[in-house]
Amino acid sequence: MTAVALEVADKQDVAHGVVSLTLAHPEGSRLPDWTPGSHIDLVLPEGTVRQYSLCGDRWDAHGYRVAVLREPRSRGGSAYVHDELRPGDRVGVGGPRNHFPLVPSEKYLFIAGGIGITPLLPMLHQVELMGAEWQLLYGGRSRSSMAFRDELETYGKRVHIVPQDEEGLLDLAAWLGTPCTDTKVYCCGPAPLLTAVEAACAPWPAYALRTERFAAELSAPVRDGPFEVELRRTGRRVTVTPDVSVLDAVRAAGAEVLSSCEQGTCGTCLTPVLAGRPDHRDTILADHERAAGDCMLPCVSRALDDRLVLDL
Ligand code: FES
């Protein structure tokens, strides 16, 4: 991953357990453009890399805003951002990249759970500019834990804030019970919310629902034995044993593959597949991309067959 050093220009508490950071170039230079749904990689000391959605103004070319939830079981990333990082400090930043793009539609329903509001904030701004019809359903544990409520209140009745301790869980049956052919549903939040929304949207038209997960939940691979990967450009063959990722195996065989999250959530390691069927275990690819089988995320995905041929 190529990272540039940006400076923390601002740090603010935006909810209980959530801070926002504004990152800027130390010399005040323009930052690369981005679109709603994009994320950046934050490279923290000791090489910890975390992905955070850009949640500021996409037309501000001089500042990236992200929001970071303090994770109770943090592996160091969010705890460092909350406890150590100060305005004036520098952090490595990779990207931006977008695996959660906003596609054209007449109507949108946005569903956020907790910190999942972050990629949706710039989307709301965009659809408002486009004049589309939209509504936001925003759930969280309690009002005080829900970030950016003040910004959302400017949208008036389009925004439905549902603190769990006051109103219970989001009423997905009421919102998604009747499939709509002219509405796209965008959902970001914790895994149980995404699973519930996916189930509720099952009768909806194909591709109506788009989700973003922050961490891949890895199910068991389809096959538990070794398989072979051929690197077509060098002709090398490598055996991938159950305890090794395809990414590590092909790197050990000399292939150069960029990576970042190594959890199947960022898309950096996307690799073309020339033969064999991948066992997709990421949370990036859409159903039709999985079915096409012509690319895979080798940091988490494996093989359905005895052999895969990769364009490496
Ligand atoms: Fe992030 Fe593979 S490195 S998906």
Q: Is 299 in the pocket of ligand 1 (CB under 6 A)?
A: yes
Residues 56, 74, single domain; the answer is yes
The predicted structure's pLDDT at residue 218:
54
Helices (H), the chain: 77-83, 117-130, 149-153, 164-167, 172-176, 191-200, 246-252, 287-292
Please tell me the predicted confidence (pLDDT) of residue 217: 46
Do residue 18 and residue 70 come from a single domain?
Answer: yes
Whether 197 and 234 map to the same domain: the answer is no
Spatial CB neighbours of 282, under 8 Å, sequence gap ≥ 6: 216, 264, 265, 296, 297, 299, 300, 301
- For residues 9 and 31, the answer to whether their CB atoms sit within 8 Å is no
CATH number at residue 60: 2.40.30.10
Q: Based on the domain organization, do 14 and 74 belong to the same domain?
A: yes
Residue 218, classed as helix, strand or coil, is coil
In this structure, the answer to whether residues 120 and 195 fall within a common structural domain is yes
* Per-residue pLDDT, 145: 95
> Is the minimum distance from the CB of 77 to ligand 1 under 6 angstroms?
no
CA of 60 to the centre of ligand 1 (A): 28
Which of 97, 129, 148 is the last residue before a domain boundary? 97
Is 220 domain-assigned? Answer: no
Pocket test for ligand 1, best of 2, 41, 217, 266 (most atoms within 8 A of CB): 266
pLDDT at site 214: 63
Helix (H, G, I), strand (E, B) or coil at 156: helix
The domain tally of the chain equals 3
Claim to verify: residue 278 and residue 203 sit in the same structural domain: no
Could you tell me if residue 74 is inside a domain?
yes
Q: Which atom of ligand 1 is nearest to the CA of 284?
A: 4
Report the nearest-CA residue for atom 4 of ligand 1: 264
57 found inside a domain: yes
Going by C-alpha positions, the residue among 21, 49, 151, 39 that lies closest to residue 96 is 39
- For residues 187 and 111, the answer to whether their CB atoms sit within 8 Å is yes
What CATH number is attached to the domain comprising 147? 3.40.50.80
Number of neighbours of residue 135 by Cβ within 10 angstroms = 17
pLDDT at 276: 95
Over the stretch 143-191, which tens digit does the pLDDT of each residue have? 999 999 999 999 999 999 999 999 999 999 999 999 999 999 999 998 8
Q: Could you say which residues of the chain have pLDDT below 50?
A: 216-217
Nearest-atom number in ligand 1 for the CA of 264 is: 4
- From the CB of 266, is ligand 1 less than 6 Å away? yes
CA–CA distance, 175 with 153 (Å, rounded to integer): 20
247: domain CATH number? 3.10.20.30
Cα torsion 14, 15, 17, 19 to 10°: value is -10
User: Which residues touch 104 (CB under 8 Å, ≥6 apart)?
Assistant: none
Whether residues 113 and 92 share a domain: the answer is no
In ligand 1, the atom with minimum distance to the C-alpha of 299 is 2
Rounded to whole angstroms, the Cα distance separating 61 from 33 reads 7
DSSP 178: S
Does the pTM of the predicted model rise above 0.85? no
Instruction: Say if residue 90 is in the same domain as residue 120.
Output: no
* One domain, residues 60 and 114: no
**Which structural domain, as residue segments, surrounds residue 272?**
227-310
Interval 90-109: pLDDT, tens: 999 988 989 899 999 999 99
pLDDT, residue 247, reads 95
pLDDT for the residue numbered 206: 85
Q: Are residues 235 and 282 in the same domain?
A: yes
pLDDT of residue 73: 60
* Within-domain flag for 218: no
CB 266, CB 51: distance < 8 Å:
yes
Q: Does residue 87 have a cis bond before it (omega within 30 degrees)? A: no
Beta carbon of 269 within 6 Å of any ligand 1 atom: yes
Query: Among residues 212, 237, 261, which one ends one of the domains?
Result: 212
297: left (phi over 0), alpha (psi -120 to 50) or beta: beta
Question: Which of 49, 69, 97 corresponds to the end of one domain?
Answer: 97
Residue type, 112: A
Mutate to test the pocket of ligand 1, among 52, 262, 296, 310 (most ligand atoms within 8 A of CB): 262
**Co-location of 89 and 126 in the same domain:** no
Distance of CA 6 from the midpoint of ligand 1 (Å): 22
The Cβ of residue 144 has, within 10 Å, a number of other Cβ atoms equal to 12
Point out the ligand 1 atom lying closest to the alpha carbon of residue 297.
2
Could you tell me if the CB of 259 is within 6 A of ligand 1?
A: yes
Atom of ligand 1 nearest to the CA of 258: 3
Instruction: Note whether 229 and 237 are within 8 A (CB).
Output: yes
Q: What is the pLDDT of residue 95?
A: 87
